[in-house]
């Protein structure tokens, strides 16, 4: 590598120190939210600065367009990303997402943002190789902006409101686009009731990720077996007696999705197979955990060998999203065991008057 030959920004370091001292950063350098940058972000989406988007319930504080734009600028987003971040915040403000629990738990829960539809291509989002990793500015900065908004607007300050014992990297950023172009199946947003040409953001509260590798299987039943067995993690058992929060997310690479389809296994069939096999016998848990679950009246299903914990209450609750590049490495993301449901919202265009606007197609 060679040294950068551009003009030095003498105010950059001072701005970083000032913003860090104000408690507005996530530990990484941020883009100083100057008036010009914030106004350009608002103008790009035609949003009125003083309009209210939603209430981020941690501090019962309304999230204003201007406040969100400030955090979007600091995250390093390009103009045009604001509408996606707004949709994510609107989704997280819905009660069933349980933002209070996710943002305040001692667990490692963090929001994962999935983007579908034309807006993903327009912003240059990555749904292919390394979709969950580094290298794509839109993926990285959209997820980061969501986290900064939860901290700076919602009040989820680490060690004060956000009480995570260890946390996880997704608390910095976790965002990707579905690889609909290489998927043989109906994309997530259509499955959830939206039109194919709608731009939609879906947010899930996840407790981490687990790599699932199966380079041998070509049949839906065999692939489902590997995925299901990867879900049987005693440490993800939620208070409701499920492994995780009850909506396990499987991010399946196109090669595995295509193999399932060639073998006559649809997405719905794969969900059913995973649900059937993702069952952990109670005798695999410690006596103390078993006693705790019984004491709370947690739901326990029945399997061939007796009482079991399942990954979800029904097969339809298993979420499958196709993403990634070449290879057969899938990812399992357990949803937070404290109770959460994935929520989807349309990406909308601004009206210039702080109103609800129109959907982005």
Q: What is the mean pLDDT of each run of 10 residues along the chain (361 residues)?
A: 86 94 97 95 86 80 92 96 96 95 95 98 98 98 98 93 96 98 98 98 97 96 98 88 89 98 98 96 91 77 76 96 98 94 89 42 43
Rounded distance between C-alpha atoms, residue 283 and residue 279, angstroms = 12
Query: To which H or E segment does residue 225 belong?
Result: helix 220-230
For residue 122, the tally of other CB atoms under 10 A from its CB is: 14
- Structure confidence at residue 305 (pLDDT): 61
DSSP state of 78: P
- Structure confidence at residue 154 (pLDDT): 92
Contacts of residue 219, Cβ cutoff 8 Å, sequence gap at least 6:
263, 265
- Structure confidence at residue 358 (pLDDT): 42
- Structure confidence at residue 359 (pLDDT): 45
- Structure confidence at residue 348 (pLDDT): 84
DSSP state of 131: T
- Structure confidence at residue 304 (pLDDT): 64
Rounded distance between C-alpha atoms, residue 240 and residue 185, angstroms = 31
- Structure confidence at residue 7 (pLDDT): 85
Domain parsing of the chain, residue ranges: 22-348
User: pTM score > 0.75 for this model?
Assistant: yes
């Amino acid at each position: 590598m060679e040294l950068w030959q551009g003009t030095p920004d003498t105010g950059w370091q001072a701005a970083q120190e000032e913003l860090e001292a104000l408690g507005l950063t996530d530990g990484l350098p941020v883009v100083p939210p100057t008036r010009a940058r914030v106004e350009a972000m608002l103008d790009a989406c035609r949003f009125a600065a003083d309009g209210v988007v939603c209430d981020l319930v941690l501090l019962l504080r309304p999230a204003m367009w201007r406040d969100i734009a400030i955090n979007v600028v600091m995250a390093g987003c390009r103009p045009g990303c604001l509408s996606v971040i707004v949709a994510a915040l609107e989704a997280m403000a819905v009660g069933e997402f349980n933002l209070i629990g996710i943002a305040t738990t001692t667990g490692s829960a963090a929001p994962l943002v999935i983007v579908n539809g034309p807006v993903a291509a327009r912003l240059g989002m990555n749904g292919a190789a390394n979709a969950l990793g580094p290298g794509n500015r839109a993926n990285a900065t959209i997820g980061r902006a969501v986290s900064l908004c939860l901290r700076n607007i919602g009040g989820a300050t680490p060690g004060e409101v956000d009480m995570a014992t260890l946390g996880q990297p997704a608390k910095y950023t976790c965002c990707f686009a579905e690889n609909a172009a290489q998927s043989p199946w109906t994309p997530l947003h259509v499955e959830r009731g939206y039109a194919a040409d709608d731009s939609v953001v879906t947010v899930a509260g996840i407790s981490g990720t687990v790599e699932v590798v199966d380079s041998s299987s070509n049949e839906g039943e065999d692939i489902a077996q590997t995925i299901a067995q990867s879900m049987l993690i005693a440490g993800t058992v939620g208070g409701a007696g499920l492994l995780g929060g009850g909506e396990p997310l499987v991010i399946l690479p196109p090669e595995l999705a295509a193999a399932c389809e060639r073998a006559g296994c649809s997405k719905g069939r794969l969900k059913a197979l995973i649900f059937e096999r993702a069952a952990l016998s109670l005798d695999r848990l410690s006596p103390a955990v078993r006693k705790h679950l019984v004491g709370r009246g947690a739901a326990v299903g029945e399997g061939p060998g007796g009482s079991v914990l399942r990954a979800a209450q029904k097969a339809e609750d298993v979420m499958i999203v196709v993403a990634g590049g070449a290879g057969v490495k899938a990812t399992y993301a357990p949803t937070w065991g404290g109770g959460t449901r994935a929520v989807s919202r349309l990406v909308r265009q601004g009206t210039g008057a702080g109103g609800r606007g129109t959907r982005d197609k």
